[in-house]
Chain A
Amino acid sequence: MKLLDLVRPNCIVAELTSTDRNGVIRELVQVLGDAKLIQTSAIDGIVRSIVTRERTRGTTGFGKGVAVPHAKVEGLGQIVAAIGRSSAGVDFASLDGQPVHIVFLIVSPVDQPDEHLRAMDLIFRHLQQERFRKFLRQLDTTERIYDVLKEADEKTLVA
């Protein structure tokens, strides 16, 4: 599994329009809908599910300026993800209290929990590297972000 298996080029938002958590979640789910990776009719339900989980089961803003909001949905063929960048930063009620600049939003099929863990593992393996986080945070075009993902994929030794 590679980052670009999860994130299509048209699911990268180099500058998020939204400035609050719920808005960012909606914006990124909408991007997945526009890319036809999830059904348009499912958008509202997915947004609600992610927002509710952020609020009631704890933030996915685990620190270092990154958040990974996610949900599992029925009837999806494969895991899909969108990346959004906010230069101003968004309040995700993060564990370290810092604003979030990089959002990895992940939607997984409900019947593939093991694949979901593998996808999270992959994403975290990269996010753990400061250089990767720094690049994502600084790059201001979709193309540049795509290139960083591609470069990260090529250097990764998949276990």
Chain B
Amino acid sequence: MGARVVVEREIPIPNKEGLHFRPIMQFVDIAQRFHAGVTVHCEDRRADGRSPMEMLMLVATHGTKVRVVAEGADAQACIEALAGLVESGFGEL
């Protein structure tokens, strides 16, 4: 049982197409490798970072800021991995 760690990061969506289907699949795939729970906020909407359906309903368009919150022992590593993915524009830049 590790310590309860909560880490959050606000990141603008850099790719022109926004958070669409494939980027979401990449995101969910990475989120699932960690024990930490992941919640993604976009304006007043909120999604479980492991649910492709909920993530799609964020409608995070190009330039929108998303706030990623990871909670759990490996939260720091989790947020680094996810932030890296988003900031890279999901390989679409």
- Give chain A's interface residues, CB within 8 Å of chain B: 53, 57-58, 60, 62, 68, 70, 113-114, 116-118, 120-121, 124-125, 127-128
Contact = CB atoms under 8 A, between A and B. Distances in A.
Chain A, interface SS category = helix
B59 A116 contact: no
Chain B, interface SS category = loop
B57 to A, nearest CB: 5
A78 B19 CA distance: 20
A147 B17 CA distance: 32
A77 to B, nearest CB: 19
A117 B22 contact: no
Contact of B53 (A53, A58, A114, A127): A127
Interface residues on B, range: 10 to 19
Given A58-B25, A113-B62, A125 B18 contact: no
Contact of B59 (A62, A70, A118): A118
Contact of A121 (B17, B22, B25, B56): B56
Interface of B: 16-22, 25, 52-53, 56-57, 59-62
17 contacts: A57-B22, A58-B22, A62-B53, A70-B21, A113-B16, A113-B17, A113-B61, A114-B18, A117-B18, A117-B60, A118-B59, A120-B20, A121-B56, A124-B56, A125-B57, A127-B53, A128-B53
Nearest to B19: A117
A56 B89 CA distance: 18
Given A125-B57, A127-B53, A60 B62 contact: no
Given A58-B25, A121-B57, A116 B52 contact: no
Given A60-B21, A70-B21, A124 B62 contact: no
